[in-house]
Amino acid sequence: MMLKNLMMVNFRQFYGENYLEFSTDRRKNITLVHGENGVGKTTILNAILWCFFDRVTDDFEQPDKLICNQAIKEGKKACRVEVLFEEGDDTYLVQREKNDAPSTNLKVYRIELDGNYADVPNPKAFINSVLPNDMAEYFFFHGEGISNISSRQSGQKFRRAIRDILGFTFAENAVDDLKHVKTKWTKTIRDLSKGKQELHAAVKAKENLERNIASCQKEIEKHKQSASDFDQLYESSTKKIVAFGNLDASRLQREIVSKGKDKDSEESRISRLNMERQALIAKYGWALYGFDLASEGLDFIDESTLKGRIPAPYDETLVKDLIEKAECICGRELKEGTDAYKSVLSLIETANTALIQQRLQKARAVADKIKGLATEFLSEVGRYESELDASHKKVGALEVAINEANTELNGIDVDEINSLQQQALNAKEALKKANRDIGTEHSRLERLKEELKATDRKIGKETSTDARLARIQACETIIESMVKRCEQRLGDYEEEARANIEKAVNDILEEFSRKDYRVDITETFDFNLVKTDGSIVAKSKGENLLLNLGFVSALIKLAQERQNLDDDFLVSGTVAPFVIDAPFGELDETYRRATASFLPKNSRQLILLLSSSHWKGQVDEAIRTKIGKECVLISEKEGERGKRPADEIEIQGKVIEQSLYGRKRERTLILEV
């Protein structure tokens, strides 16, 4: 999909017909829209989103009031947005209109070669086939509205984003349908097994287990959502305390938050160290269990080589040579049947053969290795114990410091601050409880799954004697196998995408970040910034926004790479415009330049909606050669300018007035540069 132009008619600030043309040039792939706050940048983004999907971004104020106020004053009661776009070799026009009715009217036309317009049937389904609705938020969004993507407790949102971009929706629906069919087969077996008491009981037990598993999974998701909500409440409360204006309260709260993050980082390190310490058993366990035996065996082997055996190289070959020559090494004759002959011949039984010698060498080597591994194990355990002890001491010291700061903060006699502090403390405790509940439900889920496996084995055994039940059970087993295969493939795709996105974001960090950090996307899809030693660090606002933009641009690049993928399992990716309002927010000049450099590389078509404070300087220098279309939003006002300062913007030496006073109407115009 490539956007060609946008038409807004009486939509929000845009009175009358307002036309915006987009760049479709591959080399100059940026369309730059200049506009100060409140003039209409976010409206343009939402006009496109609304036209396609009849929805707006979450932070779009008064979403039910879309018709231009100036138009309403003049008795006009409708607004319309049109988007012209290319898809493959065809050109389409999407038109959505709203009047007094609560619903909107959507039409899609294909523009024929002769210029005629042909209706596209089922327009909603058609749009969804070009750009799936569940992918839209990653292509059209307010830049400052994605700051929560890489915040704590955001793993599920990140995972959902990857699944949406990969086109998981249809495959996931297919899995749900298969599970529904499987449930119906189970019910059929239950109905047919009423005369078989043990089988009937087993099938009922299976149904109960499956219901409990589904309930457990819902509980896990509910607790995860609760954890996310409490985490956001905690962050909101602490930020309000810092911003309250009381210097002591701000200082103490910053200290609490900072030390809290340090404590979380140390606790994460403790968890990692504990897991690594437990892994030592798998690595060294066999050597530990064999240590005593190896020590005794080695002593026995060393002693036996010195007693009662002919040491190498005087081994089996020597004895055979003596018998063949019929002469002992002392010169005595060895006649067959004599005592001397029998004595020498008996040495063969205890002589070192090549095989015995080889086994002796291996035994010594293994025993030595076991002793070495045991020593190495003790050394590793000691190292982990030392590191864990240090981390536990740090956590203890941080807890003391946090408690002292909380006590001091509580002593500040300001009711609102005290209320916010209590709210933050309650949210923190509730967050801990939610995380504990998640762990409890995970343990319960694993136990239920094991019980279900045992019950399935019992059902299989009971149905084997009834041909009809056996066929139904076989069908159920096949469906279950299909579900597992589908989920495995989805998991493989997801893991591959996770690794690719992690690499893409780390490539950005390596090139542009001023700190030696990297991004670690965990198996639970938490988005962490870590040091070289693996410890998690707190992100600054600028780093957070840089990572967010890197993440989203990597998602969009991934979707583009999958556009022509011949995959019979997932929906292919899509090329779509990257429309972003206020992308540079909290970024400093260096990070702005970095972002302005990598965004065009990862996007086929990039539409930037920028205020002058976000555009001037390094951003303009970074993108100037890639700009294909450029325009300015002009605000017309009925009132006089008075003492207001001039609102001007200079673009390539041309000065443009952005605010015009004494006009007939209040509206925003689009001026192409």
| Residue 562 near residue 166 (C-beta atoms within 8 A) | yes
CA pair distance 271, 538, nearest whole angstrom = 18
Segment among 358-362, 542-546, 602-606 with least mean pLDDT: 358-362
| Residue 377 near residue 238 (C-beta atoms within 8 A) | no
pTM exceeding 0.95: no
Judged against a pLDDT cut of 50, whether residue 314 lies above it is answered with no
Segment among 29-33, 98-102, 124-128, 248-252 with least mean pLDDT: 248-252
| Helix or strand holding residue 627 (H, E) | strand 627-636
Residue 431: C-alpha distances to residues 62, 149, 157, 227, 366 (Å): 32, 18, 18, 5, 51
| Residue 354 near residue 236 (C-beta atoms within 8 A) | no
* Percentage of the chain modeled with pLDDT above 90: 25
Q: How confident is the model at residue 142 (pLDDT cuts 50, 70, 90)?
A: confident
β-partners of residue 519 are 529
Residue 443: C-alpha distances to residues 12, 130, 236, 431, 520 (Å): 52, 42, 32, 19, 25
Question: How buried is 107 (Cβ within 10 angstroms: 0-12 exposed, 13-18 middle, 19+ buried)?
Answer: middle
- 563-596 pLDDT per residue, tens: 766 667 776 666 778 898 877 766 777 778 888 8
- Residue 270 is predicted with a pLDDT of 86
Q: Which domains does the chain have, with CATH numbers?
A: 1-131+576-590+598-607+622-643 (3.40.50.300), 285-401 (no CATH)
Cα within 13 Å of Cα(38), Cβ side: 5
Judged against a pLDDT cut of 80, whether residue 17 lies above it is answered with yes
Closest by alpha carbon to 606, among 523, 530, 549?
549
Query: Does residue 603 sit in helix, strand or coil?
Result: coil
Segment among 89-98, 158-167, 244-253, 455-464 with least mean pLDDT: 158-167
Q: Tell me 606's DSSP state.
A: E
- 651-668 pLDDT per residue, tens: 888 999 999 999 999 999
Cα within 13 Å of Cα(385), Cβ side: 6
Using the CB atoms, write b or e for 19-56: b if 16+ within 10 Å: ebbbbbeeebbbbbbbbbeebbbbbbbbbbbbbbbeeb
**β-strands 140-142, 654-657: how paired?**
unpaired
CA pair distance 569, 490, nearest whole angstrom = 9
| Residue 586 near residue 546 (C-beta atoms within 8 A) | no
Judged against a pLDDT cut of 90, whether residue 295 lies above it is answered with no
Mean pLDDT of the region 302-319: 53
